[in-house]
Structures are given as structure tokens and as C-alpha cells.
Amino acid sequence: MALMVGVVHRRVGQSLGVAGSLLTRSGLYRAGSQGCIASTVKEVSGPLEEICDQGLLSPHVAFEAGFGQIFERCRSEF
């Protein structure tokens, strides 16, 4: 299964405390608190369970990709 990941959108990021962070398979990279719209979207391949075990995404992943925007539901501890 492949997941689309990118820069966490401001509206989602502010509520989760991860606005403007870059979410990749290697981890969540903080990029300030202003938040931004993703200009690029990257595909991460691998079993969903494996990605969740690495703590990158919650088991219930919600995303919407379009017009360069992406919405991620991240684990709250990020």
C-alpha cells in the first residue's frame, strides 16, 4: 500500500501542533509553526502496519491530495 505524504496543511497542523512539518517515512521534520501548503507530494510505499509501527501515521489515516495540498492525520505525540 502506498501513502501520500507531504507538508502538513496549516488547518490540520495547528490543531495537531505539527503545522508546517514535513512528514516522511524517515520521520516528522519540524519546519516552524506558521504552516504551509505542500508544493510537492511524495509517495511512501510499504505495509500500512509497518508505517504505523514506525510512529509516522496513526492507524486511521485521512488524507486529501489535490492542488498541491495534503492533509495528514498524525499521531498526537508529534
Question: Each residue of 6-61: pLDDT tens digit?
Answer: 444 444 444 444 444 445 444 444 333 333 333 333 444 444 444 444 444 433 33
The CA-based dihedral angle spanning residues 68, 9, 24, 66, taken in that order and rounded to the nearest 10 degrees: -30
Sign of the C-alpha dihedral, residues 40, 45, 48, 51? negative
24 touches 44 (CB < 8 A): yes
What pLDDT sits at residue 42?
Answer: 42
Nearest to 42 by CA among 63, 58, 60: 63
Where do the domains of the chain lie?
Answer: 1-78
Global pTM value = 0.21
Residue with cell 495534503: 70
